[in-house]
Amino acid sequence: MPTALTRAVSPLLADCELTHLERSPIDIHKAAMQQQRYENALRKMGYTIRRLPETPHLPDGVFVEDTAVVFPELGIITRPGAVSRREETETIADVLKEYRELRFIESPGTVDGGDVLVLGKKVYIGQSTRTNGEGTRQFREHLAPFGYSVQEVPVTGCLHLKTAIAVLQDDLLLINPQWIDEKLFPGCLFIYVHPDEPYGANVMRRNTFALCPEAFPHIAKKLEDLGFNLILIDQSELAKAEAGLTCCSVLVEEGL
């Protein structure tokens, strides 16, 4: 059964890490409601929701994507680039070991899961303020026995690689070319974000469904035109914490 691992919003969310955004007040109750609606949308897309143990003392704990990346053959527990986020990995490792054999990124390597984009057997890893060369080297080493190749992608102007790119179909990518170089994805086709919606590339899709924040009507229209069954949600409070849709879950599809 495809499962989405999620976590409750911490009451300390307003103290989250911020890199490219100014701090602004966050309504925690509204953020928690938005996380619940996000989970409902994932259910509609076919996932069973499994909530990880709560970590109320960790402001960014809801952004579970950064703590683990799941492949059919294994799970990799990351070592987040922000020191304040390192403890978040403990609770996901305990749960994910029920689904996959685990490997771990060790010091001095750092990787945020938001920097990892998987396209078949090709894995793109953003080189950002959170993910370093040593973390990428370890990631490559863990994946090599399973036939994956790893391509490094410099990320500038946004937090993570997946802030700037999403896979819509096999080789069709939604991209903000201001933040990453499309030439690093040879053979792919591109749909570009609208200039008014620079954060619009972080959408999710599964089978016929596409999940998109209400804040990006131009992207939503493109997804509809492509024939996706569109689900729109309000993610405005979580977005103030520099998060996108993918940040709020770790997806565990069927294993081998």
Please give the residue ranges that form the binding site for ligand GLY (CB under 6 A): 16-17, 19, 60, 63, 82, 159, 241-243
Q: Are 142 and 116 within 8 A, CB to CB?
A: no
**All residues at 6 or more sequence positions from 22 whose CB lies less than 8 Å from its CB, including other chains:** none
For the chain, the straight-line distance linking the first and the last C-alpha, in angstroms and rounded, comes to 12
**All residues at 6 or more sequence positions from 144 whose CB lies less than 8 Å from its CB, including other chains:** none
The least distance separating ligand GLY from the CB of residue 176, rounded to whole angstroms, comes to: 18
Distance CA(182)–CA(187), nearest Å, equals: 10
The smaller minimum CB distance to ligand GLY, of residues 17 and 237, is found at 17
| Dihedral angle over CA of 172, 176, 182, 185, nearest 10 | -40
The smaller minimum CB distance to ligand GLY, of residues 128 and 176, is found at 128
The smaller minimum CB distance to ligand GLY, of residues 128 and 138, is found at 128
The least distance separating ligand GLY from the CB of residue 242, rounded to whole angstroms, comes to: 4
158 in catalytic set: no
Count of alpha carbons within 13 angstroms of residue 45, beta-carbon side: 27
Annotated active-site residue in 16, 160, 212, 248: 160
Distance CA(21)–CA(16), nearest Å, equals: 11
The smaller minimum CB distance to ligand GLY, of residues 17 and 219, is found at 17
Q: Are 148 and 176 within 8 A, CB to CB?
A: no
Q: Are 139 and 159 within 8 A, CB to CB?
A: no
The least distance separating ligand GLY from the CB of residue 89, rounded to whole angstroms, comes to: 13
Q: Nearest-CB residue to ligand GLY?
A: 17
Annotated active-site residue in 16, 158, 212, 247: 247
The least distance separating ligand GLY from the CB of residue 160, rounded to whole angstroms, comes to: 8
The smaller minimum CB distance to ligand GLY, of residues 13 and 41, is found at 13
**All residues at 6 or more sequence positions from 133 whose CB lies less than 8 Å from its CB, including other chains:** 127, 152
Structure tokens at 253: 């599809």
The least distance separating ligand GLY from the CB of residue 124, rounded to whole angstroms, comes to: 19
The least distance separating ligand GLY from the CB of residue 63, rounded to whole angstroms, comes to: 5
The smaller minimum CB distance to ligand GLY, of residues 58 and 167, is found at 58
247 in catalytic set: yes
Distance CA(235)–CA(215), nearest Å, equals: 8
Catalytic residues: 160, 247
